């Protein structure tokens, strides 16, 4: 899973550091498209970055978003950091790593499962196990959002600052639309 740290990630990491005590630093909105072409949106916990341009989310194979992302693997993640009045929107190509996961993503899935502990694992089991399970249950899914396009809006500056990053292969271009 090699890769260079993309510029939007540097900006997002810095913003998360600035607002790291705020609950919204952990929660993001994840929008998908359903089978009728209609938008679906929900709150999920941001579990950290992958090795390069990926955002990590944990979810349940039985949830609707998994079916939606299997059919249409595109999503947009949106963050609002109230303390610093910043918004990030991240258009992503998503992959799902569940029971059939292989390679590095399978190892990361197992690590994240073990890190949940018994109480965290209960979300997938429906009951708190007597002791934490080592092997992830089939419904435990690592959702990897590989960012293709990122937008950063800062409301604290006058005028507001809007920066857009676009990806071409492994390279990123930066455009400052306003402010800066
Ligand atoms: C604060 C908060 C955090 C949540 N975190 C997650 C999460 O990390 N993963 C997840 O699948 N659902 C999470 N949920 C539940 C989702 O918002 C959603 O209700 C659920 O995943 C079913 O969505 P779906 O039917 O669109 O798949 C969270 C909800 C809230 C309010």
How far apart, in Å, are the Cα atoms of 178 and each of 13, 85, 162, 171? 21, 16, 5, 22
pLDDT value of residue 90: 98
Residue nearest to atom 25 of ligand 1 (CA): 64
Banded model confidence at residue 1, pLDDT cuts 50, 70, 90: very low
Convert the pLDDT of each residue in 63-96 to its tens digit: 999 999 999 999 999 999 988 899 999 999 999 9
> How many Å lie between the centroid of ligand 1 and the Cα of residue 164?
28
**What atom of ligand 1 comes closest to residue 45's alpha carbon?**
8
Mean pLDDT of 127-138: 96
Mean pLDDT of 42-57: 97
Superfamily for domain range 7-152 = Electron Transport, Fmn-binding Protein; Chain A (2.30.110.10)
Token couple for 47 = 């579990």
> How many Å lie between the centroid of ligand 1 and the Cα of residue 68?
14
pLDDT value of residue 3: 60
How do the domains of the chain map onto residue ranges?
7-152
> How many Å lie between the centroid of ligand 1 and the Cα of residue 41?
10
pLDDT value of residue 30: 98
Cβ(102) – ligand 1 distance below 6 Å: no
Please say if the pLDDT value at position 4 is more than 80: no
Residue nearest to atom 11 of ligand 1 (CA): 59
**What atom of ligand 1 comes closest to residue 43's alpha carbon?**
17
Q: Is the pTM of this model over 0.85?
A: yes
Angle at 97 between CA 46 and CA 70, to 5 degrees: 95
pLDDT value of residue 180: 65
Mean pLDDT of 28-53: 97
Cβ(48) – ligand 1 distance below 6 Å: no
**Considering only CA atoms, which of 129, 176, 140 is closest in space to residue 157?**
176
Residue nearest to atom 7 of ligand 1 (CA): 44
**Considering only CA atoms, which of 16, 24, 25, 151 is closest in space to residue 76?**
151
């Amino acid at each position: 899973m090699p890769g260079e740290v993309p510029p939007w990630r540097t900006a997002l990491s810095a913003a998360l550091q600035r607002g790291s005590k705020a609950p919204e630093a952990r929660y993001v909105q994840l929008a998908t498209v359903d089978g009728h072409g209609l938008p679906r949106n929900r709150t999920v916990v941001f579990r950290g970055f992958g090795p390069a341009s990926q955002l990590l989310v944990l979810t349940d194979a039985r949830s609707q978003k998994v079916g939606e992302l299997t059919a249409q693997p595109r999503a947009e993640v949106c963050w609002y950091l109230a303390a610093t009045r910043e918004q990030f929107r991240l258009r992503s190509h998503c992959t799902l790593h569940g029971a059939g996961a292989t390679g590095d993503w399978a190892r990361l899935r197992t690590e994240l499962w073990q890190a949940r502990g018994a109480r965290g694992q209960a979300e997938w089991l429906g009951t708190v196990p007597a002791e934490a399970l080592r092997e992830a249950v089939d419904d435990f899914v690592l959702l990897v959002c590989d960012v293709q396009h990122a937008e950063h809006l800062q409301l604290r500056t006058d005028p507001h600052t809007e920066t857009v990053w676009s990806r071409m292969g492994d390279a990123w271009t930066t455009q400052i639309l306003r402010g800066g």
